[in-house]
Structure 1
């Protein structure tokens, strides 16, 4: 069962690149669709479960760190869809989404 979980997780994680490639080809520019982040989160979470089962600290650390990035990107996308205002940081680092409430 664990090997099946591992393969399903890896297939989801790999599938995100296929989704991103197809979306970019259709747009004729590099794009990262929401499905990329969703598959990243789902595949990464399942791979983390698999890594915990295997008790592999390197694999656990890598997958856990990635989940933070995937969740943050999905949060930024959700904020943008809600119409949260984008502001420019004083240091000139570019736009950031703020949540004032």
Structure 2
């Protein structure tokens, strides 16, 4: 058994049986869930549906953390792998599109400032 699969004895007082991998998986699940709070706050401020870039960062990080738990812990759970693989891919692609779109907007703003309409 690897060190990552051994119970963390210092958490024994909680009554929970925690391993480092389980903490990573729980943190990933928490981050994946908390991204909805970020989206809610951004939409409430904008008064329209908004998905901020932080949403995609949290989606990707949360999915990868949960995916690593299911891949590398003693669980080796195929259901968990499939459940987190597609969201990780989707979040990575959406983040790529968001970053690229932001870069294109900066270039367009720079071009319009450099070449004002006559």
What TM-score range do you get, normalising by the shorter chain? 0.7 to 0.9
| Number of aligned residue pairs | 84
Structure 1 gap ranges (5+): 85-101
**Aligned-pair CA distance for 1:12:** 0.8
Larger radius of gyration: 2
- The aligned runs of 1:10-89 (5 Å cut-off) are 10-52=29-71, 53=73, 54-83=75-104
**Counterpart check, 1:8 vs 2:31:** no
Superposed CA deviations along residues 43-89 of structure 1, whole A, max 9, x for unmatched, are: 000000011122111110121111111111011111112217xxxxx
Superposed CA deviations along residues 7-62 of structure 1, whole A, max 9, x for unmatched, are: 21111111100000111111111110000000000000000001112211111012
More strand by share: 1
**Separation in 1 of the partners of 2:25 and 2:83?**
15
More helix by share: 2
Aligned-CA RMSD value: 1.3
Q: Normalising by structure 1, what TM-score?
A: 0.77
Secondary structure in 2 aligned to 1:83?
helix
**Separation in 1 of the partners of 2:30 and 2:96?**
24
List 4+ stretches of structure 1 deviating above 3 A: none
Structure 2 gap ranges (5+): 1-19, 106-118
Q: Normalising by structure 2, what TM-score?
A: 0.67
